Amino acid sequence: MEGGLQLGGERPGRPLVGGVEAEHAGEQHHDPGAGRAADGLLDPLGAEAGLVLGPLQRVVAPAGVPGGHRAAGSGAGRSSSGKGQGFNATLLGGCRPLAAGTTRDPYPAPPHPNDARARPYDDGVGAAPRVAVIGAGAVGCFFAAQLAAGGRAEVTVCARRPFGDLQVSSELWGTTLRAAPLVQTDPAGLQAPFDAVLLATKAHQTAGAAAWLAAATGPGTTVAVLQNGVEQVGRVRPWVPSSAVVLPAVVYCGVERTGPGRVTHRTHGWFHLPDGEAARAVAGLFPPERELVQPVADWPTTAWRKLCENVTANGVTALTGRRMEVLRDPAVQELLRGLLAEATTVAASEGAVLPPDYADRQIARVAAFPDGVGTSMLYDRLGGLPMEEDAIYGAVVRAGARHGVATPLNQALLTLLAAISATAAGT
């Protein structure tokens, strides 16, 4: 057992959404090597990282799900007091495949925002788990919508400004998902503690989210940190109770925030957590159809591979003010090889296992992106915002110092990008 998250016995055949039994979906096989996109808009509670797709031809999504109430979801075991006792996610996972010809609606219609009765149902085991999503940027809104529409948890989005419902238009899946979670704009208004928290701010905004974290967490709360870098636990631990479980996440989700509560989804759409009971419990909060949460056993490799992807593209695009086509320049590619030589050596010292030709493969991958693709760091600079250079290049430099690995190129990019961020922050 980790923290307050308990895994109970499986209950095959229980109704999961709208009285329809959910289907385990193993058909989705994702490539974790592709980058995570972000919105690039001026939302201080927006999490952005990795690669951002530029203008694409929009896929016309089917009409939204009609209706005025949320279909029944399944609750998870929770103490009657609801104070720091965790939740039982295996109760969410026990289901059998649909019979042939059965119609499945994994995303039922949302409730009216003012309908106090529209909550995930209580199946007699206990109240549904309560989840707070801190950050209403593209990534936060995307995963909050999946949670809320799935009906397995009572979801509250913590945002600086109020908005109506959530709408995720997926060009990848050809769907439009609407959901209406609670929206809270004041930490003092939260009814804490929550069973789980998804922190979806940018890495350098963590301290700014301290009031939200303090208000949302309690003994046994699980906090999944959906941020760039490899130092998520250290960044968040000072702001939550010592008994809270803090899980680092690696996010692959190509999304763009197009307005308050409005997200366009183009690529991928999941995050990794280090495998364990807490990670599996978080995974159990989401509908199983798309494997939105994927626990992994080899966390050092997963985390450092993503960081090396960020090292490859983010800094150079931000410094040059150009999109991914700049990475096709032979001279720039030589710089990338040097940056990756340092980063992969540090990664190996941290226990990551990357193939010997990783650098060449990674450079070829980013060079093959179509024109118009950018990075979140580029969009932050264009928007006059501070950037995540410390979470990316700073992490490489600090780990290199611990292991006696020289990282002069990563240090150079860190220094230049930090100077730009300081100007953007007005310091």
The band of 30, judged by pLDDT with boundaries at 50, 70 and 90, is: very low
Range of the domain at 177: 51-94+106-297
| pLDDT-above-70 percentage for the chain | 70
Higher pLDDT, 144 or 26: 144
Say whether both 117 and 224 belong to one domain.
yes
The answer to whether residue 412 is domain-embedded is: yes
Catalytic residues: 306
C-alpha–C-alpha distance, residues 50 and 39, integer Å: 11
- Do 249 and 339 share a structural domain? no
Domains in the chain, number:
2
pLDDT for 126 equals 63
Taking the complete model, does pTM exceed 0.75, yes or no? Answer: no
- The answer to whether 282 and 271 are in contact (CB under 8 A) is no
Say if residue 360 is in the same domain as residue 318. Answer: yes
Q: Is residue 138 part of a domain?
A: yes
Q: Which residues contact 412 (CB under 8 A, 6 or more apart)?
A: none
What average pLDDT does this structure show over 403-424?
A: 97
CATH number of the CATH domain containing 320: 1.10.1040.10
Cβ atoms 153, 120 nearer than 8 A: yes
Alpha helices, DSSP H, located in 116-173: 138-150
**Dihedral over Cα of 244, 389, 307, 402: its sign:** negative
Among the residues of 128-256, which ranges form H helices? 138-150, 210-216, 232-236
The last residue of one of the domains, among 235, 269, 297, is 297
- CA–CA separation, 62 and 80 (whole Å): 41
Please tell me whether residues 159 and 253 are part of one structural domain: yes
User: pLDDT tens-digit profile of 391-401?
Assistant: 999 999 999 99
DSSP 3-state of 88? strand
pLDDT of 207 above 70: yes
The least confident of 77-86, 191-200, 267-276 is 77-86
| Same domain flag for 242 and 320 | no
Candidate from 94-98, 198-202, 318-322, 343-347 with smallest mean pLDDT: 94-98
Clarify whether residues 336 and 226 are in a common domain: no
pLDDT, tens only, 173-202: 999 999 999 999 999 999 989 999 999 999
∠ Cα 117 119 124 (to 5°):
100
Q: Examine the domain organization and report whether 285 and 316 are in the same domain.
A: no
Same domain, 218 and 257: yes
State the CATH number of the domain containing residue 125. Answer: 3.40.50.720
Predicted confidence (pLDDT) at residue 288 exceeds the cutoff of 70: yes
CA distance 166 to 110: 10
Confidence check: pLDDT of 129 > 90: yes
Choose the final residue of a domain: 274, 297, 320: 297
pLDDT at 53: 33
| Residue where a domain stops, chosen among 246, 272, 297 | 297
Considering only residues 380 and 373, tell me which one the structure prediction assigns the higher pLDDT.
380
Instruction: Tell me the CA distances in angstroms from 11 to 15, 21, 78, 100, 280, one per residue in order.
Output: 10, 12, 16, 21, 16
Co-location of 207 and 281 in the same domain? yes
Same domain? 287 vs 376: no
- 225 and 257 part of one domain: yes
**Residue 6 binned pLDDT confidence (cut-offs 50, 70, 90):** very low
